[in-house]
Structure 1
Amino acid sequence: MKNIFLFLTLLVLSVSAQAQQNQKTQDSTKTEKLDEVLVKAVRVDADSPITHSNLSKEALAKRNLGQDIPVLLNFLPSVVTTSDAGAGIGYTGIRVRGTDATRVNVTINGIPYNDPESQGTFWVNLGDFASSTESLQLQRGVGTSTNGSGAFGASLNLLTDATSAEASGEISNSFGSFGTRKHTVKLSTGLLNNHFEVSGRFSKIDSDGYIDRAFTDLKSYFLQGIYKDDNTLIKALTFGNAERTYQAWYGLTANELKEDRRQNPYTYENETDNYWQDHYQLHWNERFDNNWSTNLGLNYTKGKGYFEQYKPEESAADFANLIEEDSDVIVRRWLDNNFYVLNANVTYKQNAFEIISGLSYSSYDGDHFGEVIWGSDLQPNTEIRDRYYEGDATKNDFSIFSKATFKLAEKITGFVDLQGRFVSYKTNDLNSDRVEFVTDANFSFFNPKVGLTYKHCDFNSFYASYARANREPNRDDFEAGVTENETLNDIELGWRYNSNKVSVNTNLYYMFYQNQLVLTGQLDDVGSPIRATSGKSYRLGLEVDANIQFSKMLNTSTNVAISSNKNKDFSSEINGELVDLGNTNISFSPELVIGNAINYMPAERLQLSLLSKFVGEQYMGNTDNEASILERYFINDFNINYEIKPRKLFKSIVLSGLVNNIFNKKYVSNGYFGSYDYEDTSSPSGITTGYYAGYYPQATTNFLVGATFKF
């Protein structure tokens, strides 16, 4: 595998070098901002044959009143978001093209953010991170080479605050429904002696949640020191978050939803999640001349925390006989982990030829353990905080890549991206069910990507690409007995049109899988979705997003995603028999998703926006059972921004308002579905299958208002 990778890398270099010889000098690394080099390895350019969307700091700021980043991305193509607490703060999630958050590869300054074991992204640990984000790019499909777990539906990369030449300060406060409050302070020294800058942010976010008692308490910080000159940029930064969140992952049954959609089945007053996470990053970008530049990135992440849970009438064996049989018990289940990352890459650019080669190595170690902190009937020798299970895990991930962009003809640009990825994962001792969990798995993946862009004229371009991705199972999959990797092949065909007043991006995709791990609809005992191998499956879709500038005062931004998402020859055990269901719909994959924004600017510094989102009907399971249907919904938000330019004290004052769900729609954006068997003498097999479903109601009409003072 390694020899094949090296051979193909050399082939890319030789073909690209030959294509380079006849090009005219157009650009070099000198024209790029050194800040942007941080994400050069994981981002793509506007003309790349990779389907993507960009969001700037200015676009994020218009609705950044406390809600999490997934909610701020809700109006991008093929994106569906949800919130456990219903208000968009705390435990929020994102799906892209029907794929869940474990398949969305997230990087911050090129550093992997997904949890190495669960592969999920916990935005609750990034409170108010949008306030420290310079820009972000969402790539749909396999995307380009990434660090960390392979992208299996989308890649989201974030670039943190860029260098600021001038000293500045910012105080931001917002308030809204459900006791929501956000307080942010930002400061920057500007460039001192034309070389040094120190900046920082401190934030506090609170929300009671739409769901009863589903409160969120977030405290976060971001600190950054920079040294720069014409050819060097060194960034040392740290950011972190402490969160306390009341659990709301249980959802509601259909009857509970009708009875009171804001109720919370949990009654124990401290049924909370408590977690602390701190990140430390060092980045060194060096530009040697107009052609060569390098980037070195180092990261250490410390995470530690627990969730507390009340359990009635438990089995003594489940708690290492620390309690008597049928005792009530309160437990804390802990995670204590360390994550180290090294990224290094080198870029050569001359004319229209560019090649980036690099490597990434990460090492993760995590302890899992549970404590008994109270019991109605403890064993005589039991001490408070005695552990009833403990285990550890280690994961090492090494990848090497080389990607090149080069001219094949006057109007045709080629793109080749080759990645080798090598993963080892080991676990020991017991899991939370007190079952021996010992794993020693190794994976070697080769992930090639190729594409062409044909630029017909300044306005029109067409692209085609093929990408292959492989992905290892996560911790829960291993616990369920899944040991084989998944494979995805992604074909994309696109057309881009860009003029002064109109831009249109259209792409057709076909993603076909082997051993795709689809969501079953069920949850485990901590609310995490359970996955199962579906064999062969595919996602076929058309995405269109368009921006039209009607006048200086009026513009619109619309995106439409139409898709068919199928398991092929799917089988399931129903009423005691294995039934061949043929092609079925993949869970949580709506066939139609539409986003729209109408922006009206009646004055120079005043913007009014109507934001609309339609998500079509979707199944919460893979058997096309009617009981698993999640109904379609159509919601509308209203956003207003007004900037004041005072003559004294402040550079500007920005007033913002956001009314979510202005038509008071009672909708559900997420849920769960499962089955169970019971004895039934009237059934031919003596067994009948029953079904259950749960739902996460989202907030009805609610508002947020804020003011930002910049000086």
Structure 2
Amino acid sequence: MRYFWLLALAVTVTVQGAFAQSIVGTVRDARTSSPLPLASVQLLHGNMGMAADRSGHFEFDNLSEGSYVLRVSFVGYETVERKVQLGHADVFVAVEMHAVAMPGPEIEISAMRARERFSPVTFSDIDREDIESEYYMQDIPVMLADLPSVTFYSESGHGIGYNYLRIRGFDQRRLAVMVNGVPQNDPEDHNVYWIDLVDLLGNTDNIQVQRGAGSAFYGPPAIGGSINIVTGDFANRKGVSISTGAGSYNTQRYALAVGSGLVDDTYTFFGRFSRMSTDGYRDHSYTKASSYYVAATRYDEDVTTRLNIYGGPLEDGLVYYGLPRFAIEDRDERRKNYNYWEAADGEYTWTSERRKQEHEQFSQPHFEMLNEWKASESLTFNSALFYVIGQGYFDYDGTGWTDAAYYRLTPEFGFENVGDPANPIIRAYVDNRQVGWLPRMTYAHDGGSFTAGLELRRHRSEHWGRIQWAEGLPTGLDPHRRYYEYRGGKDIAAAYVQEQYSLTDRINVMGNLQYVFNRYSLFDEKYVGTEFDHDYHFINPRLGVNFNINDAWNLYGNVSYTHREPRLKNLYDAAESSGGTTPQFAQNADGSYDFDNPYVRPEKLLNFELGAGFVGDRHRVLLNAYVMDFEDEIVKSGGLDRFGQPITGNADQTLHMGMELVAQYQLLRSLAVEVNGLLSRSRLESYTVYDTDDDGNSVATSLDGNRIAGFPEQLANVKLRWRESGITGVLTLKYVGEQYTDNYENPENRVDPYSVLNASIGYRTPPVMGLRSVDLRLTVNNILDRLYAQSGEGNQFFVAAERNFFVDLVLNL
């Protein structure tokens, strides 16, 4: 923590010198008055140039008197040139830029996209230039980890493979994640599998992260927030780029990108293909993945249509169990990857090495058709039609915890006198198919706009498990015999409306109302024959207001009410039926299940947000407070499943409160500092858990007032960013406060506070040897070589890698 305060102190001290005159100014969109961060600003006299900061501000210091020509350019806007006469005093220049008229309308990906000083929501943006300066091959959660109230952890330890993201402490199952507005959370499991989006950042134009409830109209309910990743139309990405890179743990990446630019004022085509591999930080945590992204856009006078196809096959070694607490600071033990262990008094009492056969193979291609039709000046129709396929398997060790009965190798199923299979490897297979349509209509009227839309999705899945290999199997056993098999489904239908209205020039209001219908289905279950449908109906409202006090200050606030249904696995874990798992529904008098009455209830959230923002010439500040009042919040209820994931249940009443600070300041012409922090409190207000004693009696334990597992209550980030003459440098310090890994506040099940320092430096050359440019970058993570854990579940902890690096080279033809 002391490094955080030292760096924070250093970057807030500025030495003011005695310079000559300056030309200062701002760059904004002429229609919306929104700042255009990173616009290119040049003084043609003296060949000086810079990028506007995130507030659209720029400043040229130490200039002599005379006449200058200021040239400002920004992708998608007409270049502006202004003559500036500099005398004895500084000159302020307000530059307003007009968007270039494309042959057809630009596709508006999402109706929920927020705008500064207009939308009464709390959000952060990452633009293309930030991505280019920091992305090497890390997964998306690593890229987002420096944003306010965001944390992540990696099973493998170094940010490639299976990674998990949290916003305000809420895990990614409770976030709404979208790519081009298309939901990415698994409909049955709610999880987001970032490993299936390998190298998507190489095709991404911008990312918006909204914090708080109700920030998505479609997809899974946004409890902690929403993330919308937008890939480009690539009209301005003409040419060929070849990239390669290598780093620690035998990490390698190769990529080829080809863009046509605008062809015949009608079409654009873009493709990116990549291959990456790594051995991983922990043992047997390798990943091998290929990816493809192909996009084609057609512009007509009033209609724009884009086709996106992306995905890629992958293989990775399983690494889903954490390590005991004593291994965190042991440089040898922290790299271990056991499939099972027991420990006591600071040492192992039993370990089982991860077997080489334990791996996963999966592929998840996405097919999207995005369309925008500008029917008139006031009426626009948008549509997103998509189809997603997810197929694959993972093989894992069944030694020590399974027997012949688990695999249904008993007389009941035609097997006599069968012993327990020895050293079995289990294959779990899944085949997911999802099709969806997201149409919407926007009507611009006097004073505002009205939007109405639908979400229609159909998801079907097939799940089965079999013995892939074992010793002592019955003679003649069909190698394809499945010991569990079932099909799942989810049908989703939602409708929403949104009104954005300007009461005055300074006050605008926003109102949203969403109706959601979800139906879970489980059918065709082999052996047991359980079948059910269960429906959920939700109405989710949100109301907000933004008040621009003046050109610098604004206030905003919103209140929302949101529901979220349990996972299908909360209702019935059919894959474990042979191990004794039963449907989690109330039973009727005759012993049958009442499938209208599940034990795990939907969680309900009342969320209040209140914020104040200030935008100056060289700095920007946002202070936000939130209160999140839950009924039946779905929390960790103790214990882990076979794959290290927490078993969850309802807590009657919980309360989350916090304050977030975001500040950005342009220290020098080429040097900016960004600081953000979170102070929060997350408590179980009313929660009782039940267990049994040695005599089989039920014992109640009240956890009222305890901290909620997985929620660090202090977060802070400091980022220094340098841009000058093709050089980009980023230095980031992150601090994460302590967090508990269970709800009992057991001091042994606690992730200690940690701070980590990361850096990258890159250089883009001017045209050289017939190339448009050459990019060279070095990234170093965990510069101080700290030994720490990022997260944990119960008594298992997930460690972060030691100091590691990556070097990459890009040739732009």
Fold in common (TM above 0.5): yes
| Larger displacement relative to structure 2 (326-335 or 662-671) | 326-335
Q: Does 1:618 align with 2:739?
A: yes
Summarize the alignment of residues 89-104 of structure 1 with structure 2, pairs less than 5 Å apart: 89-104=160-175
1:534 is paired with a residue of what secondary structure? strand
Aligned amino acid, residue 461 of structure 1: N
The answer for the alignment partner of 2:557 in structure 1 is: 464
Change (3 A) 1:520 1:654: farther
CA distance in 1, matches of 2:214, 2:242: 37
Q: Does 1:43 align with 2:134?
A: no
Q: Does 1:117 align with 2:188?
A: yes
Which string of whole-angstrom CA distances, capped at 9 and with x for unpartnered residues, describes residues 616-650 of structure 1?
00111112121221111000001112110124421
> 1:36 deviation in Å?
5.9
CA distance in 2, matches of 1:549, 1:709: 31
Aligned 8 A contact 2:174 2:190 in 1: yes
Change (3 A) 1:435 1:484: farther
> 1:430 deviation in Å?
4.5
1:582 is paired with a residue of what secondary structure? coil
The answer for the alignment partner of 1:304 in structure 2 is: 391
Choose the corresponding residue for 1:592, options 709, 714, 717: 714
CA distance in 2, matches of 1:435, 1:90: 35
CA distance in 2, matches of 1:118, 1:166: 37
**Percent identity of paired positions between Structure 1 and Structure 2:** 27
Aligned amino acid, residue 625 of structure 2: L
1:72 is paired with a residue of what secondary structure? helix
2:201 is paired with a residue of what secondary structure? helix
> 1:526 deviation in Å?
2.2
> 1:289 deviation in Å?
2.6
The answer for the alignment partner of 2:42 in structure 1 is: none
Aligned 8 A contact 2:421 2:470 in 1: no
Which string of whole-angstrom CA distances, capped at 9 and with x for unpartnered residues, describes residues 62-82 of structure 1?
121111000011100000111
Aligned 8 A contact 1:42 1:157 in 2: no
Choose the corresponding residue for 1:542, options 640, 659, 667: 659
2:703 is paired with a residue of what secondary structure? strand
Aligned 8 A contact 2:151 2:166 in 1: yes
CA distance in 2, matches of 1:82, 1:521: 20
2:705 is paired with a residue of what secondary structure? strand
Aligned 8 A contact 2:644 2:793 in 1: no
Aligned amino acid, residue 149 of structure 2: S
CA distance in 2, matches of 1:36, 1:517: 40
Aligned 8 A contact 1:247 1:273 in 2: yes
The answer for the alignment partner of 2:730 in structure 1 is: 609
CA distance in 2, matches of 1:373, 1:574: 36
Q: Does 1:371 align with 2:466?
A: yes
Summarize the alignment of residues 524-563 of structure 1 with structure 2, pairs less than 5 Å apart: 524-563=641-680
Aligned amino acid, residue 501 of structure 1: R
> 1:310 deviation in Å?
2.3
Q: Does 1:128 align with 2:199?
A: yes
Summarize the alignment of residues 422-461 of structure 1 with structure 2, pairs less than 5 Å apart: 422-430=517-525, 437-461=530-554
Aligned 8 A contact 1:145 1:419 in 2: no
Q: Does 1:261 align with 2:334?
A: yes
The answer for the alignment partner of 2:347 in structure 1 is: none
Aligned residues: 664
| Larger displacement relative to structure 2 (370-379 or 124-133) | 370-379
Q: Does 1:249 align with 2:320?
A: yes
Choose the corresponding residue for 2:248, options 177, 181, 200: 177
Unaligned runs of 5+ in 1: 1-24, 674-692
Aligned 8 A contact 1:51 1:143 in 2: no
Which string of whole-angstrom CA distances, capped at 9 and with x for unpartnered residues, describes residues 68-113 of structure 1?
0000111000001110000100001101111011011111111111
The answer for the alignment partner of 1:291 in structure 2 is: 378
Q: Does 1:57 align with 2:128?
A: yes
Aligned 8 A contact 1:107 1:147 in 2: no
CA distance in 2, matches of 1:569, 1:167: 58
CA distance in 1, matches of 2:365, 2:768: 40
Q: Does 1:667 align with 2:788?
A: yes
2:391 is paired with a residue of what secondary structure? strand
Aligned amino acid, residue 264 of structure 1: N
Aligned 8 A contact 2:623 2:662 in 1: yes
Choose the corresponding residue for 1:569, options 679, 686, 690: 686
Aligned 8 A contact 2:107 2:371 in 1: no
> 1:440 deviation in Å?
1.5
Summarize the alignment of residues 162-241 of structure 1 with structure 2, pairs less than 5 Å apart: 162-165=233-236, 167-241=238-312
The answer for the alignment partner of 1:341 in structure 2 is: 436
Aligned 8 A contact 1:515 1:535 in 2: yes
Q: Does 1:631 align with 2:631?
A: no
CA distance in 2, matches of 1:471, 1:655: 45
| Larger displacement relative to structure 2 (89-98 or 513-522) | 513-522
CA distance in 2, matches of 1:277, 1:156: 20
Aligned amino acid, residue 42 of structure 1: M
CA distance in 2, matches of 1:594, 1:618: 14
Larger Rg: 2
Change (3 A) 1:166 1:596: closer
RMSD: 2.0
2:282 is paired with a residue of what secondary structure? coil
2:166 is paired with a residue of what secondary structure? strand
CA distance in 1, matches of 2:106, 2:164: 27
> 1:256 deviation in Å?
4.3
The answer for the alignment partner of 1:579 in structure 2 is: 701
CA distance in 2, matches of 1:335, 1:291: 46
Which string of whole-angstrom CA distances, capped at 9 and with x for unpartnered residues, describes residues 365-417 of structure 1?
00010122222011123121211110001100111111111112332111001
CA distance in 2, matches of 1:262, 1:372: 29
Which string of whole-angstrom CA distances, capped at 9 and with x for unpartnered residues, describes residues 179-227 of structure 1?
1111111101122111012111101111111101210111110011110
1:384 is paired with a residue of what secondary structure? coil
Summarize the alignment of residues 485-500 of structure 1 with structure 2, pairs less than 5 Å apart: 485-500=602-617
Unaligned runs of 5+ in 2: 1-29, 34-97, 339-352, 410-414, 574-583, 585-598, 694-698
| Larger displacement relative to structure 2 (252-261 or 64-73) | 252-261
CA distance in 2, matches of 1:621, 1:483: 19
Choose the corresponding residue for 1:703, options 805, 808, 813: 805
CA distance in 2, matches of 1:196, 1:220: 24
CA distance in 1, matches of 2:137, 2:762: 15
Which string of whole-angstrom CA distances, capped at 9 and with x for unpartnered residues, describes residues 109-152 of structure 1?
11111110000000000101100111110011114333211111
Aligned 8 A contact 2:105 2:373 in 1: no
The answer for the alignment partner of 2:450 in structure 1 is: 355
The answer for the alignment partner of 1:683 in structure 2 is: none
CA distance in 1, matches of 2:31, 2:394: 56
1:450 is paired with a residue of what secondary structure? strand
CA distance in 1, matches of 2:157, 2:549: 47
Which string of whole-angstrom CA distances, capped at 9 and with x for unpartnered residues, describes residues 302-330 of structure 1?
11000001222531111120763253312
CA distance in 2, matches of 1:670, 1:27: 42
Summarize the alignment of residues 409-428 of structure 1 with structure 2, pairs less than 5 Å apart: 409-428=504-523
Which string of whole-angstrom CA distances, capped at 9 and with x for unpartnered residues, describes residues 159-190 of structure 1?
11223146311111111101111111110112
Aligned amino acid, residue 113 of structure 1: Q
CA distance in 2, matches of 1:27, 1:634: 40
2:142 is paired with a residue of what secondary structure? helix
Aligned 8 A contact 1:362 1:397 in 2: yes
Aligned amino acid, residue 309 of structure 1: Y
